[in-house]
């Protein structure tokens, strides 16, 4: 079975609320063997399903989670912010506090902030940021803030909290009710 179909099946099982440990272990093995063909959507689908079913204990699940984290670390700069927010929340909810992963996400956010400030000031975007061309939307901010609170990334890092909050407020008119609740819940968790 191709890895994209395997990950899509994980998403379908999640949607149907169907879980079979043996089947999930078989799919985990497919993902590990084909880790170089896993897309960002595949990572998000697999992690969301693993989280939903708490499929984190078997040797196959552990190997797959490690593989998905490595893939995300390797490719994070090319992923959409919404995907990184979903992945970050899944890892945080599984209580996986991979410092390398979360520091990379933090650095991407900081680079986006530098890019946004340069654009606002009419300055040339630094060459290192040209590949990002991303904007932190309210949903991204809320989900990332929620994940960062869960893994305690804001402790001693108030600048990151304020950065996410500033971007959230900047685009608050685009926020839906659920996004607002997620953001306010993050404030409560952190506070």
pLDDT in tens, 113-126: 877 777 777 777 65
**Residue 182 pLDDT greater than 70, yes or no:** no
- pTM (predicted TM-score): 0.84
Distances (CA, A) of 151 to 101, 181, 189: 11, 19, 11
Distances (CA, A) of 130 to 12, 85, 103, 135, 189: 36, 21, 20, 12, 34
Backbone angles phi, psi at 2, to 5 degrees: -65, 150
Q: What percent of the chain has pLDDT over 90?
A: 51
**pLDDT per residue as tens digits for the range 126-146:** 555 444 456 778 888 888 888
pLDDT confidence of residue 15: 93
Residues 61/67/72/73 CA torsion (nearest 10 deg): 130
Nearest CA-CA partner of 69 in 88, 45, 41 = 88
Report which of residues 102 and 176 the model is more confident about. 102
**pLDDT per residue as tens digits for the range 155-171:** 777 788 888 888 777 77
**Residue 181 pLDDT greater than 70, yes or no:** no
Q: Please list the alpha-helical segments (H only) found in the chain.
A: 3-16, 21-33, 40-53, 59-75, 81-93, 99-120, 138-150, 158-170, 177-190
Q: Averaged over 72-81, what is the pLDDT?
A: 92
Q: Where are the domains of the chain?
A: 1-79, 98-191
**pLDDT per residue as tens digits for the range 78-98:** 999 899 999 999 999 999 988
Q: What percent of the chain has pLDDT over 70?
A: 87
């Amino acid at each position: 079975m191709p890895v994209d179909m395997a990950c899509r099946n994980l998403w379908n099982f999640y949607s149907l609320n169907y879980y079979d440990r043996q089947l999930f272990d078989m799919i985990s093995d497919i993902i590990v063997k084909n880790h170089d063909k896993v897309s960002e959507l595949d990572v998000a689908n697999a992690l969301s399903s693993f989280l939903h079913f708490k499929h984190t204990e078997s040797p196959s699940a552990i190997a797959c989670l490690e593989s998905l984290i490595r893939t995300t670390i390797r490719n994070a700069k090319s992923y959409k912010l919404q995907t990184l927010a979903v992945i970050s929340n899944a890892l945080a909810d599984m209580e996986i506090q991979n410092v390398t992963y979360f520091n990379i996400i933090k650095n991407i956010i900081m680079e986006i902030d530098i890019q946004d400030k340069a654009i606002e000031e009419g300055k040339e975007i630094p060459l290192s940021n040209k590949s990002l061309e991303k904007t932190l939307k309210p949903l991204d901010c809320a989900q990332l803030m929620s994940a960062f609170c869960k893994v305690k990334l804001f402790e001693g890092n108030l600048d990151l909290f304020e950065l996410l909050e500033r971007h959230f407020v900047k685009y608050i008119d685009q926020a839906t009710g659920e996004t607002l609740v997620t953001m306010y819940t993050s404030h409560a968790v952190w506070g």
